Structure 1
Amino acid sequence: MTKKLNQLEATAICGNDISSSCLYVSALAIVYAGQYAWISLLMVATVLFFFRKIYGEVVGALPLNGGAYNALLNTTKKSTASLAAALTVLSYMATAVISGSEAVKYAHSILTSIPVLPVTIMLLLVFMGLVIMGIGESSKVAMIIFLFHLFSLIILCGFCLLYFVENGTATLISNFKLPIEGSIFSALFLGFSAAMLGISGFESSANYVEEQQPGVFPKTLRNMWIVVTVFNPLIAFLALAIIPISTVVHYQDALLSVMGITAGGQWLSMLVAIDATLVLSGAVLTSYVGVGGLMKRMALDRILPKLLLKKTRKGSNYFIFIVFFLLCVSILLVTKGNLAKLAGVYTIAFLSVMILFGIGNLLLKLNRARLPRPEKSSWLGLCIGIFAVLAAIIGNVILNPHYLAIFMEYLIPTLIIVFFMLYRVRIYKAVLIVLEYCFPEKGYVFKKLHRKIKELLYNVHKQQFVFFTNHDDIVTLNIVILYIITNEAARRLKIVSVLETGKSVNNQLKKDIKTLDRAYPNINIDFIEETGIFGPAKIKELSTRWSIPTNFMFMGSPGEGFPFKIEELGEVRLII
Structure 2
Amino acid sequence: MTAASSLMAVQPPQVDGDALSTARECTLRDFTAPPSFRDSQFGIILRNQRMRPADNSGLKTLSGYRSRFIHLTNSFEFAGWGSVTRLKLGNDDYAEGLARVQALRKEQVLGQFLASGLAGNAVLGSVFYALPAVVAVSGVYSPISLFLATLILFLWRPIMEELASALPISGGPYTYILNVSTKTFALVGAALLLLDFGSTSIVSAATAATYLSGEVPSLPFPTWVGAIIVLVLFTLISLTGVRESARLALGVLSLHIVSMIVLIIVASIHWRKIGVQQLTDNWNLWRATSSTSSSGIAKQIYYGICLGMLGLTGFECTPSYVSRIKPGKFPLVLRNLHIPAIGMNTVLMLLVLAVIPMDVILGGANVLSVLAQASGGRWLRTWIVVDAIIVLCGGVLTGILSACELLQQLALHRVVPRLFLAVVPRTGAPYFSVLAFTAFSGLLYATAGASLVVVSEMFSLVWLTVMALFPAALLLLRFNRGQLPRARRTQLCVVASALLIAPVVFAGNVAYKPQTAGYFAAYVAGIISFFSVTQNKVTLLRWVYWTYDQYPALHSWRASREWGVRLVAAMRGLRRQQVCILAKTDEINSLCRMILYVRKNEETSHLKIVHFYEDDEGIPSELEANAKILDEAFPEITIDLTLVNGTFEPASVAALSHRLGIPQPLMFMTCPSAQCPHSIADFGTRIISL
Q: Fold-level match, TM-score > 0.5?
A: yes
Q: CA RMSD in A?
A: 1.9
TM-score by length of structure 2 reads 0.80
1:163-178 matches, cutoff 5 A: 163-176=270-283, 178=286
The Cα shift of 1:276 comes to 0.7
Q: Deviations over 1:214-238 (max 9, x none)?
A: 2222221111111211111111222
Amino acid at match of 1:63: P
Residue 249 of structure 2 is aligned to residue 142 of structure 1: yes
Q: Which residue of 2 aligns with 1:231?
A: 344
The Cα shift of 1:279 comes to 0.8
Q: Which residue of 2 aligns with 1:113?
A: 219
Q: Which residue of 2 aligns with 1:57?
A: 162
The Cα shift of 1:334 comes to 5.0
Distance 1:33 1:386 in 2: 25
Quickly say closer, same or farther: Cα 1:439–1:144, change in 2 above 3 A.
farther
Residue 550 of structure 2 aligns to a residue in which SS? helix
Amino acid at match of 2:143: W
Distance 1:58 1:445 in 2: 54
Q: Which residue of 1 aligns with 2:601?
A: 487
Residue 153 of structure 2 is aligned to residue 39 of structure 1: no
The Cα shift of 1:403 comes to 0.4
Q: Which residue of 2 aligns with 1:269?
A: 381
1:398-409 matches, cutoff 5 A: 398-409=511-522
The Cα shift of 1:79 comes to 0.7
Bigger drift between 356-365 and 325-334 goes to 325-334
The Cα shift of 1:508 comes to 3.1
Contact 2:597-2:688 within 8 A present in 1 as well: no
Distance 1:261 1:279 in 2: 19
The Cα shift of 1:447 comes to 1.5
Residue 24 of structure 1 aligns to a residue in which SS? helix
Residue 572 of structure 2 aligns to a residue in which SS? helix
Amino acid at match of 1:433: W
Q: 2:409 aligns with which of 284, 290, 297?
A: 297
Residue 566 of structure 2 is aligned to residue 452 of structure 1: yes
Contact 1:552-1:573 within 8 A present in 2 as well: no
Q: Which residue of 2 aligns with 1:535?
A: 649
The Cα shift of 1:31 comes to 2.3
Bigger drift between 51-60 and 436-445 goes to 436-445
Contact 2:423-2:431 within 8 A present in 1 as well: yes
Q: Which residue of 1 aligns with 2:79?
A: none
1:9-88 matches, cutoff 5 A: 9-88=114-193
Residue 286 of structure 2 is aligned to residue 286 of structure 1: no
Distance 1:263 1:114 in 2: 30
Q: Which residue of 1 aligns with 2:23?
A: none
Gaps of 5+ in 1: none
Distance 1:467 1:543 in 2: 12
Contact 1:133-1:316 within 8 A present in 2 as well: yes
Q: Which residue of 2 aligns with 1:310?
A: 422
Q: Which residue of 1 aligns with 2:232?
A: 125
Q: Deviations over 1:132-165 (max 9, x none)?
A: 2211221122111101100111011111211222
Structure with bigger gyration radius: 2
Aligned residues: 575
The Cα shift of 1:63 comes to 0.8
Distance 1:462 1:551 in 2: 17
The Cα shift of 1:99 comes to 1.3
The Cα shift of 1:243 comes to 2.9
Amino acid at match of 1:279: V
Quickly say closer, same or farther: Cα 1:130–1:30, change in 2 above 3 A.
same
Contact 2:612-2:646 within 8 A present in 1 as well: yes
Quickly say closer, same or farther: Cα 1:130–1:156, change in 2 above 3 A.
same
Gaps of 5+ in 2: 1-102
Residue 615 of structure 2 is aligned to residue 521 of structure 1: no
Residue 133 of structure 1 aligns to a residue in which SS? coil
Residue 527 of structure 1 aligns to a residue in which SS? strand
The Cα shift of 1:39 comes to 2.1
Q: Identity of aligned pairs, percent?
A: 28
Q: Deviations over 1:8-57 (max 9, x none)?
A: 11111100001111112233223222332222222222221111111111
Distance 2:370 2:296 in 1: 29
Residue 436 of structure 2 is aligned to residue 330 of structure 1: no
Distance 1:290 1:526 in 2: 38
Bigger drift between 327-336 and 380-389 goes to 327-336
The Cα shift of 1:335 comes to 5.0
Distance 2:390 2:620 in 1: 64
Distance 2:398 2:131 in 1: 21
Q: 2:334 aligns with which of 204, 213, 221?
A: 221
The Cα shift of 1:354 comes to 1.0
The Cα shift of 1:174 comes to 4.2
Q: Which residue of 2 aligns with 1:191?
A: 304
Quickly say closer, same or farther: Cα 1:114–1:52, change in 2 above 3 A.
farther
Quickly say closer, same or farther: Cα 1:334–1:28, change in 2 above 3 A.
closer
The Cα shift of 1:490 comes to 2.2
Q: Which residue of 2 aligns with 1:471?
A: 585
Distance 1:332 1:477 in 2: 47
Quickly say closer, same or farther: Cα 1:445–1:227, change in 2 above 3 A.
farther
Distance 1:509 1:571 in 2: 22
Contact 1:91-1:345 within 8 A present in 2 as well: no
Q: Which residue of 2 aligns with 1:355?
A: 468
Bigger drift between 91-100 and 149-158 goes to 91-100
TM-score by length of structure 1 reads 0.95
Amino acid at match of 1:235: L
Distance 2:611 2:186 in 1: 28
Contact 2:586-2:626 within 8 A present in 1 as well: no
Contact 1:56-1:218 within 8 A present in 2 as well: yes
Amino acid at match of 2:235: M
